Chains A and B, each alone.
Chain A
Amino acid sequence: MFWTYWAFLRRDAAIWASYPWARFLDILSIFFSCATFYFLSQLLGSTALPALESYGGNYFAFVLIGIAFSNFQGVGLNSIARSLRTEQQIGTLETTLSTPVTLPRFVVGSILWDFLYATIETFFYFGVGIVVFGFSMKESHLLSALLVLMASVFAFSSLGILSAAFILRFKRGDPIAWLLGTVSELLGGVYFPLIILPAWLQEISWFVPMAHALEGLRLSLLQGAAVNQVFHHFLWLLVFSAVLLPFAFWVLYWALRQSQKEGSLGHY
């Protein structure tokens, strides 16, 4: 099993390395993104403080965590479907599925590199934030953050598997990724605290995995919240994953079988 995953990682790392300019621009855009939000936080100054009180009052720190970790949702939600679609387009899906590799292993293998790369990007965000813009992690409780992040990855990936099933079956126009991607920007709390939303919208926002992920991560990293203080967010994400993950795999197998019946496995 390890060798199979290692093969996926090596494949994706080699493809990644074959586009050096794109990688350089990825890193550069992290710096510009940090700078943009840093100056926005300067503009907001103390006016944003009441809404950010429970996160330490610093908008830059708040939004840095939002944009750094929203990457993980992007990977979980899009990367399996994107990988499947790419494999369909270049014709490797049929050859891959004709090997002994199982569908779950194929799915996990397809997203390993993207998650690893998202982690590296997150370190870059924090590195740039700390070194250039004075972001501080002195109060952080890393264990809490790690637990919330792991549960988030499972939750996002469950949705990503559903999204991939859609791509396998209908090829394009995936509503799951579209809906989650759009809704999470508004209700996930990436750019602003959920407390500024109307009460009824706040109620709805707690059904969005991103809201729990970011709330747990911000409390852990900015306020040093211990595991018990973010446990309800962790638990929500875990239960969400436990319910959705088996269902998502069931749907993915169904989509695979439908594609095999239609003979459209390699179509896109």
Chain B
Amino acid sequence: MKNVREAGFAVHSSSFILDSYRIGMIELQDISKRFGLRSALEEINLKVDASEILCLLGPNGSGKTTLLKIIAGLVLPDKGSVLVRGVHPQRQTQRDKRDFGLSLGEGLGFYGRLNGYQNLSFFGALHGLSSRALKDRIKELDHWLGLTQALVTPFQQLSSGQRQRLSLARALLHDPSILLLDEPTKNLDPNAQKNLQNFILEQLVKAHKKTVLLTTHQIAEAEAVGERVIFLKEGRILKETNLTQIHTSGISLREIYKQCFGPTGPS
């Protein structure tokens, strides 16, 4: 067992996830969504294989978060369908929701007056985890993500970085096979970003075979974690590429980004 702790993020392999290894697969067919007159997504077709990490890259308002919410069943598409392991989410049972671990941007969605432990306990219980399992799991997540301080501090007093880690911990609580991460490193300092990206890629995807959909507007992040990168603009897929293509073509992700979005764009 290897145990490495870097700048607050412990990277640790554990039997918990390995023992409960499951395969996840998502398929989006002709997904379209409008909010009033504005088109949020248009005819999105996408397939994510098990144990793959897919990065949705695009500027603000490109439809990244809407797409994640549609996959999680929080927003219904106007057209098209989402299949998870070949099953439409609307036909999924409540139990099937355990397949997903959702982390919405900026670490929001916690109870400010409760500390990290109380928050995680509550959401863990909603996922059906017993008191004992929760205790063990939170201890494990603390070890991986360095949550010790966050667990005993009211959420409203946590820093952005602590909130992000807590949000990721909540997504991982019930050991889902699919992780939907909306800008998981937003507001983190470069070092913390790098460590969290490393944790997602090395531990979640490579070691524990999670399927990860990650949104970002940072090219550097897409370069760091994205095996496959989808470029989204105004709700449309402009381009799809993967690391192998990038390496063989000699064109950097930044250059592709410029081709898609013009010279001005995110970092």
Contacts and interface: CB of A to CB of B under 8 A. Distances in A.
B33 interface: yes
A261 B75 CA distance: 6
A78 to B, nearest CB: 20
A94 B100 CA distance: 13
Contacts of A14: 113-114, 118
A95 interface: yes
Interface of B: 33, 35, 40, 66, 69, 72-76, 78, 94-95, 97-98, 100, 102, 104, 108-114, 118, 121-123, 125-128, 130-131, 154, 170
Contacts of A8: 122
B202 to A, nearest CB: 26
A95 to B, nearest CB: 4
B94 A101 contact: yes
A99 B109 CA distance: 13
A91 B109 contact: yes
Given A95-B170, A98-B97, A101-B126, A261 B102 contact: no
A3 B75 CA distance: 28
B66 A96 contact: no
Contacts of A265: 74-75
Interface residues of A, number: 29
A90 B111 contact: yes
A228 interface: no
Give the dominant DSSP class at A's interface: helix
A102 interface: yes
A15 B109 contact: no
A260 to B, nearest CB: 4
Contact of A7 (B66, B75, B97, B121): B121
Interface string A54-73: 00000000000000000000
A233 B206 CA distance: 64
Contacts of A3: 125, 128, 130-131
B76 A260 contact: yes
